[in-house]
Structure 1
Amino acid sequence: MTSHDPGSDPASRTTPPRSLVARLASSLADPVLRALVAATAVSRVGRGVFFAVTVLFFTQIIGLSAAQAAVVLAVSSGCGVLGSLLGGWLADRWSARRLSFAFEALGGVMLAAYAFAGDFVSALVLASLSGFLDSMGHSSRSAIIARGFAPERRVHARAVLRTVTNVSIAVGSGFGAIALALGTPEAYRIVIASGGLLCALGSLPLLRLTSAVDAPSRTALHDVRTETGSIDTDAASASRRDWNRRSPWRDPRYLLLSALSAVFGMQFGVAEFGVPLWITEYTEAPEVVVSVLLIVNTTLVVLFQVRASRGTHDVRVAGRVTMIAGWLMVGACLVYALAAGLPAWVAIVVLVCAMVAHTFAEILSQAGAWGLSFELADPVRAGAYQGVFGMGFSLGALASPIVVNATAITYGLAGWGMLAAIFLAAAIGIWMIARRAAASVPSF
């Protein structure tokens, strides 16, 4: 299928569906998206290297205990919470494209420096700086998307970038497997340094972006001039007060949306933390199934994320797909729970079915979250709004291992039921926000 509205082009009614590669290629006619895709493709290969080797590098090469490695990753996530907020705030005051370039380049250097880490303190410092800079870069990029595309194209752009991200991370994980196969400290350090340099190089395409993606000058917004050319101080003061009133922290609806989206975003923690532990501790399925489920997830996201995101710039559609995602997540939680105690081959089938439902819940919830996070934000403070929304997801990522362990891993079937109820409640809340927003007159 083509990436534009088929009803807008009579010829498209007779055009056969195109492949995923063809659809992505047609999207790259937009110079902003082309620059973002190029940057994402390179930098996420580097990130994929780290996803594959980081934990084992900490424990087997540096010699950290499992508890110390967990502390390093938790502190990194905590720094990401602050980075999300600060990155959006800065993107409303300075050039978002230059900030994104700087954050990506510096973040890549920090990742490359992992190769020289030798103890707990150095790993903690580097992980904290890396998480902080990566989150700042993500918020500034979200501000670029909010300003660089028409409303009906923003979610499509996010979907394309997420597809590219998944493919690139998979490629990076393949490079990381070289270090895992060789198992020597030198192999780990060379692969890590190479991954960090790739992340830094991924910042270069961002320099091709134009000033159109930057926020309007605050001076231009605040300095209201009279016909004689002098500054109207009363009007300028009123403009400054209006700027402050447009803060996301004064928008209860958006804050609630961010909080509920953060709760639903804990489904990533279910996949990354809960499912591997559930498989190894409670089911008869072999450990290799963890990798199989990751492949299933990545493949489905690559194939369906762009397609599933169409139309979710409409808040009604965004609310509906989030509600569907909520029910899918309920089903996934309960099916995961059923895998316990079954014969190995039956457990594998059950786990794959659960991951399919889980992945479509992920795809739809992300599409809905992107649409609502853009459409319910004040366009004048796009960076600040996206920073708050990103901060919510970072908090969800920080909390998810604790919540998943306290429910599913601790209480088994009953715990999975608790998780299902949490996800459904969050989806219902987001759906209600979308429904009320669609029925109300826009506030700005």
Structure 2
Amino acid sequence: MDSRVIAKLQLLPPPGGLRRFAVANLINTVGSGLYITGGTLFFTRTVGLSVEQTALGLTVGTGVGLALMMVFGRLADRFGPKLVYVSLLVVQAAMMAVFTQVRSFSWFLVVATISGIADRGISGTVGSLIHAMSDGGNRITARAQLRTATNVGLGLGTLIAGAALLVDTPQAYTFVVAGNAVLFTAAASMLAGVHVVHHRVPRAAAVGARAPGPLRDTRYLAVTAANGLLALHASVLSFALPLWVADHTAAPKWSIAMVMIVNTVIVVLLQVRVSRRASAVPQAARMARLTGVVLAAACLTLAATESLGPVLCIAVLLLWTVIYTAGELWQTSAEFCFGFELASDDAQGAYQSVFALGPGVMRALAPTLLATLILGNGTAGWIVLAGFFVVSGFLASTAALAANRNRHAFRRPAATPMTLPADRSVPSS
């Protein structure tokens, strides 16, 4: 894409630390695309694990990681988000390298657990790092730009991994995992020299006016839970849709890839623009409420594909993609606003890690939930899911507005900026 088009669409932050972060995130997510596409086949065809063993190890890793997310959030508040984030990238690079040497289930379980902890820690601290690297006027836009880079990276990684799938040899699958290790290392190296100011609350002020943490901030927890329910849509695209199209419709299987490509292109082109409409909590709350209605319409549209012929089914799938992606863009934009604006400024690490638990827990539960509801009940399941999204959007909107009315009660006194020794070098942009 031409650099003038990129600048006009603001797909990347302006030159500086945030742009370096976006590029590092792009590099990192190319590796994620490699791993998501070819990782499971590496474990089953190269390591020799069964599908059940692979699923168990990855589930255990994710579960332990979710349980420890807030620990890394607290560490980010204490030592600075950049130090924690970069350290976790290095751990992930090491675990991917170790994966290439694993040949038993016991060692796989150990490495998968450590990798899962690091993966969830990265997800839990990315928000606090963006908060530290940006000002109040561009945090939501910066988060949207990073999501754009994520989508581009995942797409590139998936295309590269496709070549490994065509070769279909143990060496090709090993390359996929080893390549992820190299890209994690490259992302960590790019971020290592970025200047980040870490804000620490003066001890006297902290003692004199101590505000509750996120686990005692019931309104923030309510927003976290409701947003987690609404985030189920991500698994509808990645899990339910492919199985539905393949097993319940007359559409050709290549139409699944068509849907993924169209969705990715729309998100890349419009995520930043849509996020600007969720710059404050009232606007984001309204967007969340509308999101539930739009996602419900998407569910009803997909339900209609079960009885259609191949050509008409493809046309309806394209219509579904547009409707669904609109809901996805609105949900993520509202989510960015809620996560930042309703959190305590001096405890962003703890708050952001707790907020990330909502989508994280839903992602872990979604395969079983969607398999039972949709794949087991067909059209009736989609109708129930449509109602679920309407209710979830209403709950997210209501909870966010309530938290916004009371958020000043949870704010601490202004923090004093302190630059960590490791963050002194400022890279040229």
Task: Give TM-score scaled by structure 2 length.
Answer: 0.90
Q: Distance in 2 between matches of 1:59 and 1:289?
A: 27
| Residues 1:296 and 2:262 aligned together | yes
Q: Show the counterpart of 2:130.
A: 145
User: Which residue pairs with 2:111 in the alignment?
Assistant: 126
Aligned residue for 1:188, secondary structure, equals helix
Aligned equivalent of 1:43: 28
1:435 is displaced (CA, Å) by: 3.1
Distance 2:407 2:84 in 1: 34
C-alpha distance in structure 2 between counterparts of 1:123 and 1:266, whole Å: 29
Q: Given the alignment, which residue of 120, 126, 132 partners 1:135? A: 120
Q: In the alignment, which residue of structure 1 is the partner of 2:278?
A: 312
Compare relative contact order (CA 8 Å, sep 6+) and give the higher one, 1 or 2: 2
Q: Deviations over 1:257-299 (max 9, x none)?
A: 1111111111111111111111122111122222111111111
How far did 1:249 drift? 1.0
Distance 1:26 1:128, change over 3 A: closer
TM-superposition CA deviations, 1:357-388 (whole Å, max 9, x none): 11221111000011011111111211100010
1:73-101 per-residue CA deviation (whole Å, 9 max, x = no partner) reads 32232133124222211111112111111
1:423 aligns with 2:389: yes
Q: Which amino acid aligns with 2:131?
A: A
* Structure 1 pair 211–170 and aligned structure 2 pair: CA distance change class (3 A): closer
The amino acid of 1:240's aligned partner reads V
Q: Residue in 1 aligned with 2:92?
A: 107
Deviation at 1:441, TM superposition (A): 7.0
Match of 1:27 in 2: 13
1:240 aligns with 2:196: no
Q: CA deviation at 1:433?
A: 2.4
Q: CA deviation at 1:318?
A: 0.5
Partner of residue 414 from structure 1, selected from 380, 386, 400: 380
User: Given residue 60 of structure 1, which amino acid in structure 2 is its aligned partner?
Assistant: R
Gaps of 5+ in 1: 1-17, 225-235
Q: Which runs of 5+ in 2 are unaligned?
A: 412-429
1:80/1:394 contact within 8 Å kept? no
Q: How does 1:43-442 map to 2 (within 5 A)?
A: 43-212=28-197, 214-216=198-200, 221-222=202-203, 224=204, 239-240=206-207, 242-243=209-210, 245-438=211-404, 442=408
1:336-366 deviation digits (Å, cap 9, x = unpaired): 1111132112222222221221122111100
Once residues 240 and 441 of structure 1 are traced to their aligned partners in structure 2, the CA distance between those partners, rounded to angstroms, is 20
What residue identity is the alignment partner of 2:260? L
User: Which AA in structure 2 matches 1:56?
Assistant: L
What is the identity, as a one-letter code, of the residue corresponding to 2:18?
A: L
What amino acid is the match of 2:381?
G
Q: Deviations over 1:94-131 (max 9, x none)?
A: 12111111111111221232222323333333222222
Partners of 1:70 and 1:128 lie apart in 2 by 12
Counterpart Cα distance in 2 of 1:439 and 1:99: 32
Whether the 8 Å contact between 1:79 and 1:132 is mirrored in structure 2 is yes
Could you tell me which amino acid in structure 1 is paired with residue 179 of structure 2? S
Identity %: 29
The verdict on how the C-alpha distance between 1:441 and 1:110 changes in structure 2, with shifts beyond 3 A counting, is closer
TM-score if structure 1 supplies the norm length? 0.87
CA separation in 1, counterparts of 2:298 and 2:12?
34
Matched residue type, 2:207: R
Going from structure 1 to structure 2, the CA distance change for 1:24 and 1:409 (only over 3 Å counts) comes to same
Paired AA for residue 24 in structure 1: Q
Shift of 1:25: 6.8
CA RMSD of aligned residues (A): 1.9
Distance 2:5 2:68 in 1: 37
Q: Deviations over 1:177-227 (max 9, x none)?
A: 221111110111123212211112111122223241x241x6xx22x3xxx
Alpha-carbon separation, structure 2, partners of 1:151 and 1:32 = 16
The answer as to whether partners of 2:76 and 2:83 remain within 8 angstroms in 1 is no
Larger mean CA deviation between 367-376 and 71-80 belongs to 71-80
Q: What CA distance in whole angstroms lies between the structure 1 residues aligned with 2:319 and 2:212?
A: 45
Partners of 1:441 and 1:399 in 2: CA distance: 30
Aligned residue in 2 for 1:10: none
Residue deviations 1:289-348 (CA, integer Å, cap 9, x gap):
221111111111101101100041300111111122111110111111111132112222
AA at the equivalent of 1:113: V
CA drift at 1:64: 3.1
Secondary structure, aligned partner of 2:49: coil
In the alignment, which residue of structure 2 is the partner of 1:230? none
Deviations 1:235-265 (CA, angstroms, capped at 9, x unpaired): x7xx33744x330111111001111111111
Distance in structure 1 (CA, Å) of the matches to 2:254 and 2:76: 43
1:406 CA displacement: 1.8
The structural deviation recorded for 1:26 is 6.8
The alignment partner of 2:335 has SS state of helix
- Give the Å deviation of 1:152: 2.3
Q: Which has the larger radius of gyration?
A: 1
Q: Does the residue aligned with 1:93 lie in a helix, a strand or coil? A: helix
CA contact (8 A) 1:246 1:378 kept: no
